[in-house]
């Protein structure tokens, strides 16, 4: 689903510190990093891991601010309206490339309002069920869903998120009908799964991990090509008998359109430096986030291609804004 060319290692910019020095005095004051999602979720967690090291590289504090709502569009509006000077940035997720196909009446245009800076991390999606569920494998879950069409309530991080898109694909591939329960974030969905309110969730491994470790839920499959080192006992969907379901949430940095290229390059270099830091990588591993660090050019291509791919999936799955 996501173009592999974008999933590259840390940029070679790290090897040329003189490039950064040549880019002028930016920044001369703190930078606002607008996270378009709630505190405690995957996007927020990654931002707060990277922000301090980004600040060290830039020589200024990077302040994380959460602006939630509207499937990420509220945060997007804040940055779209900001001056294109690099001091107000957007930390967004995969809904960034889905929203253009879903949302109407916005005060900005996703396709023209932002300058892609870098794809920073990806977060694998997992299907988890409540502890009381009779389904202990993906095959058993599919059989249960076929026996009770529409009766199983499955929570996701929200409408049109990676979890929702993965859920739609699961239903098509397995020929089952599930009821989507969108939340304002994966942590909220995980809480209700632990309480038995939901039958299952399609959320990040980060959000599902704590309730799985406490015995209040269990993972059935992970939507990656290979198993996660931190969850080696959880099969991929292909291994569990359902190939073709690989999807990840992602977190990325955007600046307002019109931001100077040299500023974008310095911001990219700051993210790349943070991703190369051993302490940061260890922390990302703890929250089951995979580092990327693509260049602005690579990420720009990723966004364009992803937007087209998501538009097709939204049409095929009949997804509507809620």
Task: Mark which of 231, 263, 291 sits at the end of a domain.
Answer: 231
Q: Are strands 114-130 and 290-291 parallel, antiparallel or unpaired?
A: antiparallel
Residues 132 and 115 in one domain: no
Give the chain's residues under pLDDT 50. 1-23
Contact in structure between 37 and 44 (CB atoms under 8 Å): yes
Whether residues 276 and 181 fall in one domain: no
C-alpha span between 154 and 200 (Å, rounded): 5
**Distance between CA atoms of 281 and 274, rounded to whole angstroms?**
8
**110 and 188 together in one domain:** no
Alpha carbon distance 39, 68 (integer Å): 9
d(CA 86, CA 99): 23
The model's pLDDT over 232-254, given as tens digits with 9 standing for 90+, comes to 999 999 999 999 999 888 999 99
Q: Does a structural domain hold residue 244? A: no
**221 and 129, same domain (yes or no):** yes
The pLDDT of residue 321 is 64
Which residue range forms the structural domain that includes residue 184? Answer: 123-231
Can you give the pTM of this predicted structure? 0.78
Q: 295 phi and psi, to 5 degrees?
A: -75, 165
Same domain as 280, residue 297: yes
End-of-domain residue from the set 196, 231, 266? 231
Contact between 38 and 185 under an 8 Å Cβ cutoff? The reply is yes
Residue 320 has a CB neighbour count (10 Å cut-off) of 9
Q: What is the DSSP code (8-state) at residue 227?
A: -
| 81 and 22 assigned to the same domain | yes
Residue 47 is part of a domain; what is its CATH number?
A: 3.40.190.150
Are residues 44 and 181 located together in one domain of the fold?
no
Tell me: cis bond preceding 27? Omega within 30 of 0 counts. yes
203: enclosing H helix or E strand: strand 200-204
In the chain, how many domains are there?
Answer: 2
Which of 198, 231, 264 is the last residue in one of the domains? 231
42 within domain boundaries:
yes
| Domain-located, residue 136 | yes
Helices (H), 215-277: 261-276
What digits encode the pLDDT tens for the residues 60-87? 999 999 998 888 899 999 999 999 999 9
Within this chain, do residues 91 and 197 fall inside the same structural domain, yes or no?
no
In a domain, 240, yes or no: no
CB burial of 62-97 (b: ≥16 within 10 Å; e: otherwise) equals bebebbbebbbbebbbbbbebebebbbbbbbbbbbb
Treating both helix axes as pointing N-terminal to C-terminal, what angle do 261-276 and 42-58 enclose, rounded to 10 degrees?
110
Residue 260 lies in a domain: yes
Q: What is the pLDDT of residue 314?
A: 76
If asked whether residues 257 and 302 sit together in one domain, one would say yes
Query: Is residue 322 one of the residues assigned to a domain?
Result: no
* Angle 260-262-266 from CA coordinates, rounded to 5°: 120
Q: Do 170 and 225 sit in the same domain of this protein?
A: yes
Distance CA 150, CA 296 (A): 42
pLDDT at position 11 is 40
Statement to judge: residues 303 and 159 lie in one domain: no
At 24 the pLDDT is 55
In angstroms, the CA 32 to CA 242 distance is: 42
Task: Give the residue among 106, 105, 73 at the shortest CA–CA distance from 92.
Answer: 73
Q: Is 143 within the bounds of a domain?
A: yes
The helix/strand count (H/E) of the chain reads as: 11, 10
23 with 112, same domain: the answer is yes
CA distance 13 to 301: 19
pLDDT for the residue numbered 4: 40
Tokens of 223: 């939507």
Report the pLDDT value the prediction gives residue 313, as an integer from 0 to 100.
Answer: 73
Is 243 part of any domain?
no
Helix residue ranges, H only, the chain: 17-21, 42-58, 73-80, 95-102, 138-147, 162-174, 186-194, 205-213, 261-276, 278-286, 296-317
């Amino acid at each position: 689903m996501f173009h592999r060319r974008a999933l590259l290692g840390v940029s070679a910019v790290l090897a040329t510190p003189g490039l950064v020095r040549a880019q002028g005095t930016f920044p001369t004051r703190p930078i606002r990093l607008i996270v378009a999602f709630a505190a405690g979720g995957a996007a927020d967690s990654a931002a707060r891991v990277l922000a301090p090291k980004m600040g060290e590289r830039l020589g200024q504090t990077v302040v994380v601010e959460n602006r939630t709502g509207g499937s990420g569009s509220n945060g997007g509006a804040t940055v779209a309206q900001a001056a294109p000077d690099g001091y107000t940035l957007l930390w967004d997720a995969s809904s960034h490339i889905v929203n253009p196909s879903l949302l109407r009446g916005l005060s900005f245009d996703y396709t023209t309002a932002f300058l892609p800076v870098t794809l920073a991390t990806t977060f694998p999606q997992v299907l988890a069920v409540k502890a009381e569920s009779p389904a202990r494998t993906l095959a058993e879950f599919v059989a249960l869903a076929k026996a009770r069409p529409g009766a199983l309530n499955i929570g996701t991080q929200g409408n049109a998120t990676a979890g929702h898109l993965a859920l739609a694909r699961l239903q098509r591939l397995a020929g089952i009908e599930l009821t989507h329960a969108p939340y304002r974030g994966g942590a909220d969905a995980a809480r209700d799964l632990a309480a038995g309110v939901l039958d299952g969730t399609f959320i990040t491994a980060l959000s599902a991990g704590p309730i799985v470790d406490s015995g209040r839920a269990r993972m059935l499959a992970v939507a990656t090509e290979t198993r996660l080192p931190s969850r080696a006992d959880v099969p991929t969907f292909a291994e569990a008998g359902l190939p073709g379901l690989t999807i990840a949430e992602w977190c990325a940095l955007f600046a307002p359109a019109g931001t100077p290229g040299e500023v974008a390059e310095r911001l990219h270099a700051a993210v790349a430096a943070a991703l190369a830091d051993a302490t940061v990588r260890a922390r990302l591993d703890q929250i089951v986030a995979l580092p990327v660090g693509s260049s602005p050019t690579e990420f720009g291509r990723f966004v364009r291609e992803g937007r087209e791919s998501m538009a097709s999936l939204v049409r095929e799955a009949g997804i509507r804004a809620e």
